[in-house]
A and B are shown apart, each in its own frame.
Chain A
Amino acid sequence: MAALLHLDGSAARPSRSRVESVRDARRSFSTAVRLGWATEANWADPVLFVIYQVAKPIASVLMLVVMLEIVTQGAGDAAYRAFVVTGSALWALVMGGMSGLAWSVLDDRERYRMLKYLTISPDPLVLLLLGRGAARMGTAAAGALVTLAFGVLLLGVDFDLFAIDWPLLIPSMLLGLVAIIALGVILAGTVMMTRQDAWSYPEAVAGALFLVCGAVFPIAVLPMAVQAASLVLPLTWWLEGVRRGLFPDSVSSIGGEGSIWMSLTRTSVPDRTTLLVLLFLSTAVVTVISIAVYRWSEHRARERGLLDQTTGS
């Protein structure tokens, strides 16, 4: 077969070795990340861009804190305030992760008409989408950090840097990111088969998950059947793990009076090991599901010729 040249002049062969494949994939991924950043960040001047990144999560957290203060008439529980602020900040990451990939599909299909070219490139489409979505996740993570800082500095959230439970925080965060990306992949596959107005789908899905994952209230408030569904979701365990990692004395979103956890295990809150194991298992399941859903969706999109269509209305 004729030798092919990469843009940097190096020769690549269609029957490339595994090492070369990994190298090519890494290069494609990093290119996609740079592209994602360029498209994500270059629509406005830096000041406006920063405002945009922080306005949404801060407004969300303010809404919840005001709700808390109204009901408690200014005597809000500090622990619950920390609960709400942390959950709201982390949810920005969920939104960024889920929307990052889905909007990359829609952007490339409807606006830039590039999806077909990405599809026929040698590396897997999902890798390129992950790269494109990574920028959005990165900016969402920055927004989450700013929101947490806002909560600590201005909303009276008690935070002790030296009290962080790192052995809980780090694995929880890493596994949670995998779960968020997996959910994003599922959504990306879904929007491949839907029309342009699917821009709102990531928010809609994130909003629905917002109800059941213990983001801004303990799931003990929910009916038992819904609590059972919550415990299947990796985001529930992730929120619990990160929250307790950052604020070891935090109110638990999973346990407590009236919770299904307490009625099943007779313990108030899950211990660290149990939490991490269940987070790992639920993340693994969602990841497997996401791979299957994505593969089926991409195949179906190719079957129906949807990868190079515009579907505006």
Chain B
Amino acid sequence: MHEDAVSATNLPPAIDMRGVRRIYKAKPNPVTALAGIDLHVEPGESFGLLGPNGAGKTTLIKILTTLLLPSEGTARVFGYDVEHQTQNVRRIMNVVSGGETSGYGLLQVREQLWMFSQFYGLPARDGWRRVDELIEAVGLTEQQHQKVSSLSTGQRQKMNFARGLLNDPWIFFLDEPTLGLDVSAARSVRELVKQWKAAVPGRTVLLTSHYMAEVDELCERLAIVDRGRILAIGSPAELKHRVQAESIFRLELDRLEGGPRALAGLPGVVSAVTPTDDAGAAADRQTVRVNLTLADDSALGSVVIALGALGSHIVALQKSEPSLEDVFVELVGRGFDAEEAAAHATGLPPQPSVPPPPAEDREPAEVA
């Protein structure tokens, strides 16, 4: 039986990369896809790699999944060197990529998955049983006898996901797993990742994506990658904290005796102001809006108490959080879209020229 409490201290790091560089020989000039990566992921983590297209995320995953050799440096997966202990690595990992169209069109879903089960050495009957379980788990029961070539994109990706779980890997590499999927299918895939990881403690996930919300949702820690370098590593909250140390709330009250100034002096309150875009509408509205900047979330309690004492009722409360794109822009000086548009136009990496937007112009995010 599996020991539920896997101690992370007993295990080597799930991923340990030191000074990894990868240079492709291309014409007219060599392309440096990874420019010196140091990455350490503990067992049991859900780790994300966030960055625009061409940042080096897929190259990094290919190195870890033994498809590519680093030009310099070392990379280990649970202590096994990806270059010299390839088979060991392959026995404990699996990889699913977005937009994957592998497989044999003539085979049915069930047959395709069983074929792959044989590549991991599952006994024949075990393979069929496992395939049936996974098909049910990913929600492909109705399509199990359909030919692979007739699957929709979302169904195919679910099948790919089932393939990735056949050997019950210790580390699961997901390279843009929801690429090209609609909202519902993408959500299904994310739920599957969460369920799989929760089933056994100690399982590790490395996810690459350029969908910030996906990384935010799935990853405990992430690295922001651009042009082959890691710009920052941390939890989503830590990274956002770099951009915006304070907590910003937008309050809507039925009334506020004394206006925002009444809140400005409370402990933990950095500032309390009327929103600049609210001036014109205030006369028509029955409520009062206040943008509240606090030193941290804990100060909110005292504000609520004070509002109660002033006889105000809270109609709406929203927390304004920077997004991971804000973090990226802060670090790099340009957004993902500008990055990709420039790359498309010139074929060369664009130079940073656009300063990050001021904090007060950022869209507030819904409080979770």
B150: interface (CB < 8 Å): yes
CB–CB B150/A312 < 8 A: no
B7: interface (CB < 8 Å): no
A313: interface (CB < 8 Å): yes
Q: How far is the CA of A313 from the CA of B107 in the complex (A)?
A: 8
Q: How far is the CA of A51 from the CA of B313 in the complex (A)?
A: 87
Which residues of chain A in 281-313 are interfacial with respect to chain B, using CB atoms and an 8 Å cutoff? Answer: 305, 309-313
The 6 closest A-B pairs by CB, nearest first: A309-B149, A311-B105, A310-B105, A313-B104, A312-B104, A313-B106
Chain B residues with Cβ below 8 Å from A312 are: 104-106
Over the window 82-108 of chain B, the binary record of Cβ atoms lying under 8 Å from chain A Cβ atoms (1 yes, 0 no) is 000000000000000000010011110
Chain B residues with Cβ below 8 Å from A309 are: 105, 149-150
Q: How far is the CA of A195 from the CA of B106 in the complex (A)?
A: 8
Given A310-B101, A311-B106, 6 additional A-B pairs, CB 8 A: A195-B105, A309-B105, A311-B104, A311-B105, A311-B149, A312-B104
Chain A residues with Cβ below 8 Å from B149 are: 309-311
Chain B residues with Cβ below 8 Å from A311 are: 104-106, 149
Q: How far is the CA of A209 from the CA of B263 in the complex (A)?
A: 95
12 A-B pairs (CB sep. < 8 Å):
A305-B150, A309-B149, A309-B150, A310-B101, A310-B105, A311-B104, A312-B104, A312-B105, A312-B106, A313-B104, A313-B106, A313-B107
Min distance, Cβ A313 to any Cβ of chain B, angstroms: 5
| Size of the chain B interface, CB-CB below 8 angstroms | 7
Q: How far is the CA of A161 from the CA of B105 in the complex (A)?
A: 54
Q: How far is the CA of A232 from the CA of B149 in the complex (A)?
A: 40
Number of A-B contacts (CB under 8 A): 19
Q: How far is the CA of A312 from the CA of B107 in the complex (A)?
A: 9
* Residue of B with least CB distance to A110: B105
Q: How far is the CA of A42 from the CA of B106 in the complex (A)?
A: 31
Over the window 171-201 of chain A, the binary record of Cβ atoms lying under 8 Å from chain B Cβ atoms (1 yes, 0 no) is 0000000000000000000000001000000
Min distance, Cβ B25 to any Cβ of chain A, angstroms: 19
Q: How far is the CA of A195 from the CA of B148 in the complex (A)?
A: 14
Chain B residues with Cβ below 8 Å from A310 are: 101, 105, 149
Min distance, Cβ B332 to any Cβ of chain A, angstroms: 35
Chain A residues with Cβ below 8 Å from B150 are: 305, 309
Min distance, Cβ A115 to any Cβ of chain B, angstroms: 13
Min distance, Cβ A192 to any Cβ of chain B, angstroms: 14
Min distance, Cβ A91 to any Cβ of chain B, angstroms: 32
Chain A residues with Cβ below 8 Å from B101 are: 310
Min distance, Cβ A195 to any Cβ of chain B, angstroms: 6
Chain B residues with Cβ below 8 Å from A313 are: 104, 106-107
Min distance, Cβ A42 to any Cβ of chain B, angstroms: 16
Which residues of chain B in 37-80 are interfacial with respect to chain A, using CB atoms and an 8 Å cutoff? Answer: none
Min distance, Cβ B130 to any Cβ of chain A, angstroms: 23
* Residue of A with least CB distance to B101: A310
Q: How far is the CA of A310 from the CA of B106 in the complex (A)?
A: 8
Min distance, Cβ B300 to any Cβ of chain A, angstroms: 55
Which residues of chain B in 295-316 are interfacial with respect to chain A, using CB atoms and an 8 Å cutoff? Answer: none
Chain B residues with Cβ below 8 Å from A195 are: 105-106
Q: How far is the CA of A148 from the CA of B107 in the complex (A)?
A: 46
Q: How far is the CA of A179 from the CA of B75 in the complex (A)?
A: 61
